[in-house]
Amino acid sequence: MTEIITTILFLLAVIDPLGSVPVYLEATKQFDREHKRKIAIRASIVAFLILLFFILIGQLILEGMEISLDAF
């Protein structure tokens, strides 16, 4: 259970949702509410896929170089 909580906190630190809000608001200030919603959903999906890719491939790369996750 502790490992799950640690992983969730690590992902929150990496993603930094609070730090991303001002960037999103500034980048979408000229769009209406519906377009802002579509942009947020698309950006969330793309970010998820990028994170998933690097979680899977990054683990393989680290294992190939015999580097532990703790050492990284």
Mind listing the pLDDT tens digit of every residue in the chain (72 residues)?
888 898 888 888 888 888 888 999 999 999 999 999 999 999 989 988 998 898 889 888 888 998 887 777
pLDDT of residue 33: 94
| Residue 10 located in a structural domain | no
| Residue 9 located in a structural domain | no
Number of domains composing the chain: 1
Domain span at 56: 22-72
Q: What is the value of pTM for the model shown?
A: 0.67
Q: Residue 15's closest CA among 56, 60, 59, 46?
A: 46
| Residue 34 located in a structural domain | yes
| Residue 17 located in a structural domain | no
pLDDT of residue 26: 94
CA distances (Å), origin 2, targets 5, 6, 7, 68, 72:
5, 6, 9, 19, 20
